[in-house]
Amino acid sequence: MKIEGIQKCNSPFGECEHEYVWMYQISQSTNGRLDVEMLDKPLASVIEEQEDRYKMRVICPKCNQYNTFEYIKN
Tell me which residues touch Zn ion (CB under 5 A).
9, 11, 16, 18, 60, 62-63
Q: Between 8 and 55, name the residue whose CB sits nearer to Zn ion.
A: 8
Q: Between 3 and 63, name the residue whose CB sits nearer to Zn ion.
A: 63
Q: Are 67 and 10 in contact (CB under 8 A)?
A: yes
Least distance to Zn ion, CB of residue 73, Å: 25
Least distance to Zn ion, CB of residue 11, Å: 5
- Quick one: DSSP state of residue 30? T
| 3-state secondary structure at position 33 | coil
Q: Between 14 and 32, name the residue whose CB sits nearer to Zn ion.
A: 14
Handedness of CA 51, 6, 63, 59 (dihedral sign): positive
Alpha helix segments (H runs only) across 18-63: none
